[in-house]
Amino acid sequence: MQDRQRTPWLRPVVALAVTAAFFLPLYLVLANVFKPGEDISGHPASLPWPPTLDNLSQALSRPDRLFWNGLINSVTITLLSIVLLTVLSAMLGHYLCRSRSRTARITMLVLLAGLMIPPQVILVPVTDILQLTGMMATLQGIVAFNVGYYVPFGVFVFSGFIRTIPLELEESASLDGAGRWRVFWQIVFPLLRPATASVLIFLGVWIWNDFLNPLIILGPAGGTTVTVGVYRAIGEHQQNYGQVFGLMFLAALPVLIFYIALQKHFVKGLTGGAVKG
């Protein structure tokens, strides 16, 4: 499908116009982050010139430290969850892929069925289990839930890769006298790097962005994450859009930087299954 020679400018112009229309809502918020409060309602669409950092500093210096507390919690929860998830799901994926028993195969199916269970289906009893183990409204609680809930995704990504690693490699290492543990961590795991990258990237973004799970499991008592913090801030004062936008910008910034830096990995991880063959 070559462009018609008569109108070579048509496609880029249409593409740019469509993208601009699509991006408009984000532009409006982004521009208003750097505008003084009265301009947000007065001239919402104007360029933020001269830019002001008032909204950001307001969001950062809230007396309840909503952003800073949220940031500490979000970073802790996300890092702990993705490290644990990577280790546990790589090992579990390897175990299930290399076991030839019927039980392992059935276990794999039960695990992968977890990919389509919406969190709402299990959250009510999950809070009971967390209450029982004393982990309700704690960071351990949400991390433990994240690990259990997202382990199917990790296993799914890792087992896809593990199947491509020749068994001979592991066999020869084990003939050379390496134990199972060493074979896995020194031979197999380094080869899984692309899968590890996918798991870390996707789960990192999902867990950072999670709203319902931390809202319910941390509750009002257990503190807040940056994502839940944005929600709490709109509940309080619907009017002060400047500060809410500032807070939102700060909450989304880490993910955006991460995305811009690793754009290729995002797309590769996502589209791995989209192409036949």
Partner 1 sequence: MSLVKERAGIRTDAPPRTPPGTRRGALPRLWHFLGFGAPGLLVYACFVLAPIALSVGYSFTNANQFVPRTRFVGLDNYTRLLTDQEFLTALKVTTILTLIVVIVPNVLGLAVAVLLDRRGWFYNALRGVFFVPVVLSSVVVSVVWQAMLTDDGLVNTALRAMGVHSPPGWLSDPDIALYSVGFIISWQMLGFCAVVYLAGLQSVPQELHEAAAIDGAGPWLRFRKVTWPMLAPALTINTVMLLITGFKAYDHIQVLTGGGPGTGTTATLAFSVIQTGFTANRTGEASAMALLMLVIVAVVSSVALRFLQRREVDF
Exactly one of 75, 173, 191, 197 binds partner 1 (CB under 8 A); that residue is 173
Q: What is the dihedral of CA 260, 263, 269, 272, to 10 degrees?
A: 150
Exactly one of 73, 78, 196, 227 binds partner 1 (CB under 8 A); that residue is 227
Burial label, 267 (beta-carbon count in 10 A; 0-12, 13-18, 19+): exposed
Is residue 58 within 8 A of residue 242, CB to CB? The reply is yes
CA separation for the pair 142, 93 (Å, rounded)? 23
Exactly one of 122, 191, 194, 265 binds partner 1 (CB under 8 A); that residue is 122
Q: Which is nearer to partner 1, 112 or 191 (CB)?
A: 112
Based on the shown chain and the rule CB under 8 A, indicate whether residue 163 belongs to the binding site for partner 1: yes
Under rule CB under 8 A, which residues in 236-255 are in contact with partner 1? 241, 244-245, 248, 251-252, 255
For the bound state, the minimum distance from the C-beta of residue 198 to partner 1, rounded and expressed in Å, comes to 11
* Residue span 129-158 as binding mask against partner 1, x where in contact by CB under 8 A, dash where not: x--------------xx-xxx-xxx-xx--
Based on the shown chain and the rule CB under 8 A, indicate whether residue 35 belongs to the binding site for partner 1: no
**23-31, 54-62, 63-71, 75-83 -> range binding partner 1 (CB under 8 A):** 23-31
For the bound state, the minimum distance from the C-beta of residue 137 to partner 1, rounded and expressed in Å, comes to 14
Exactly one of 52, 69, 107, 138 binds partner 1 (CB under 8 A); that residue is 107
CA separation for the pair 93, 65 (Å, rounded)? 41
Exactly one of 8, 50, 125, 190 binds partner 1 (CB under 8 A); that residue is 125
Q: Which is nearer to partner 1, 72 or 129 (CB)?
A: 129
CA separation for the pair 64, 223 (Å, rounded)? 11
Q: How far is CA 200 from the centre of its chain?
A: 8
Based on the shown chain and the rule CB under 8 A, indicate whether residue 190 belongs to the binding site for partner 1: no
Q: Which is nearer to partner 1, 18 or 53 (CB)?
A: 18
Based on the shown chain and the rule CB under 8 A, indicate whether residue 221 belongs to the binding site for partner 1: no
Q: Which is nearer to partner 1, 53 or 167 (CB)?
A: 167
CA separation for the pair 45, 117 (Å, rounded)? 41
Under rule CB under 8 A, which residues in 41-80 are in contact with partner 1? 44-45
> How far, CA to CA in Å, does 222 sit from each of 216, 237, 269?
10, 22, 34
CA separation for the pair 250, 175 (Å, rounded)? 53
CA separation for the pair 187, 94 (Å, rounded)? 12
Based on the shown chain and the rule CB under 8 A, indicate whether residue 28 belongs to the binding site for partner 1: yes
Exactly one of 123, 191, 194, 265 binds partner 1 (CB under 8 A); that residue is 123
Exactly one of 8, 63, 118, 190 binds partner 1 (CB under 8 A); that residue is 118
Residue with tokens 């090992």: 91
10-33 CB burial, b ≥16 within 10 A, e <16: eeeeeeeeeeeeeeeeeeebebbb
Exactly one of 47, 53, 79, 119 binds partner 1 (CB under 8 A); that residue is 119
For 237-267, give the secondary structure using H, E and C: CCCCHHHHHHHHHHHHHHHHHHHHHCHHHHH
